Amino acid sequence: MRVGDRHFRAVWWEDGPVRFIDQRLLPHKFEIASARSYAEVENAIREMGVRGAPTIGVMAAHGLAIAARDGEKIEHAYGTLQAARPTAVNLRVGLDAVMSHTDSPERALEAARAHDDAEVSAAEAIGRMGVELMSQGTRVATHCNAGWLAAQDWGTALSLIYRAERDGKMPHIYAGETRPRLQGSRITAWELGQEGVSYEIVADSAMASLMRRGLIDLVITGADCIAANGDVANKIGTYPLALAAREHEVPFYVAAPLTTFDRAVATGDEIPIEERSPDEVLTAEGVDAAGDSVRIRIAPADATAINPAFDITPAGLVSGLISEAGIVPASTAGIERAFGAAA
Ligand code: MRU
């Protein structure tokens, strides 16, 4: 995708360091950062300078290639990178794409780049496969950021939106703000603005009443891991959105590349859910009138919080899964069909 007159991916290799758009600073600052060692790659993933399941897989793949180049202990680098964010299965897929090539730094880098290119192709295909769900002016609710910063170059849920916009269908997006880190208000809103897509930010808690008023035609989210039975792990707040969609008979689709499906995991109950710092719930971050970053305390000084970063949406609430292999039911048979089509 373009920012100004330059084409960017969220993460790319550039003569040694891996570069990335620092997503913590968006939308107020567009800054390119570098990770020079696998430890710096791990830090960028853990601290969410780089985020979104397919993108962190690409970042981790490059991290392992850097570890191979630097003569690091590969098993240790693999374990450290994998532990950075436990829910997104793409992280492991990215590492596995490189692992068997780490005896040669050149081949490890080639494998990381091939994995990156494959994720770009998959993200682009998701938009083509899913755009049939969109009519002229479809009003789409989405959650978190499932755009080109989260899945290299196109996104997952937003790949359909970008394709529909290019096809002249002029969709309107309700971007759920996505408490507590506000990826919707910050990153989805920024991406849609860059692409000229019509959008409004909506408090997560307002989505159900927008559905009740008949304002939402379709919900599309991304995923961090999809179990063999079609249960979906995605950003916390996805499950209540799916429940509200079911109550109001609004179709609820999940868009993800096949690298997000983990057929070794039987159901959503087996997917590890990342717990993040309570500070993300107890405080808020933004910029002041001078544009300087500030973090403010919202809750009482002695308040505590729990902060699960993802939830599980049962397959029964999902109208369909959109991948590069097409649209299939969220079921074991549907997922087998998707992998069969891709083989
Ligand atoms: O914690 P994040 O911001 O990395 O969570 C991201 C999401 O939950 C996305 O919806 C998901 O990765 C799929 S979008 C490519």
pLDDT of residue 34: 97
For the chain, which residues score pLDDT lower than 70?
A: none
Helix (H) / strand (E) element for 254: namely strand 252-255
pLDDT, tens only, 151-179: 999 999 999 999 999 999 999 999 999 99
Dihedrals phi, psi of 67, to nearest 5 degrees: -60, -40
Q: What is the SS3 assignment for 106?
A: helix
264 CA distance to ligand 1 middle (Å)? 21
Q: What ligand 1 atom has the least distance to the C-alpha of 260?
A: 13
149 CA distance to ligand 1 middle (Å)? 10
Contact 267, 227 (CB under 8 A): yes
Q: Using a 6 Å CB cutoff, which residues line ligand 1? A: 51-54, 88, 144, 146, 150-151, 156, 183, 221-224, 234-235, 309
Measured CA to CA, the distance from residue 297 to residue 250 in angstroms comes to 37
pLDDT of residue 274: 98
Catalytic residues: 224
Q: What is the SS3 assignment for 262?
A: strand
304 CA distance to ligand 1 middle (Å)? 25
Q: What is the SS3 assignment for 324?
A: coil
pLDDT of residue 118: 98
Tokens of 260: 């997000």
* Contacts for 155 with CB less than 8 Å, ≥ 6 apart: 123, 126, 127, 146, 147, 148, 149, 161, 162, 191, 222
Contact 123, 156 (CB under 8 A): yes
Measured CA to CA, the distance from residue 322 to residue 173 in angstroms comes to 18
CB atoms inside a 10 Å sphere around CB 233: 30
User: Which of 1, 126, 183 has the most ligand 1 atoms within 8 A of CB, as the residue to mutate?
Assistant: 183
pLDDT of residue 173: 98
Residue nearest to atom 8 of ligand 1 (CA): 235
Helices (H), 52-188: 53-69, 74-83, 89-99, 105-130, 157-166, 183
User: Which of 225, 234, 258 has the most ligand 1 atoms within 8 A of CB, as the residue to mutate?
Assistant: 234
* Contacts for 275 with CB less than 8 Å, ≥ 6 apart: 306, 307, 308, 309
Cis peptide before 27 (omega within 30 of 0): yes
pLDDT of residue 342: 83
Tokens of 181: 């880190």
216 CA distance to ligand 1 middle (Å)? 22
Residue nearest to atom 14 of ligand 1 (CA): 146
State the DSSP string of 16-65: SSEEEE-TTSTTT---EEEE-SHHHHHHHHHTTSS-SHHHHHHHHHHHHH
pLDDT of residue 60: 98
Give pTM, 2 decimals. 0.97
59 CA distance to ligand 1 middle (Å)? 14
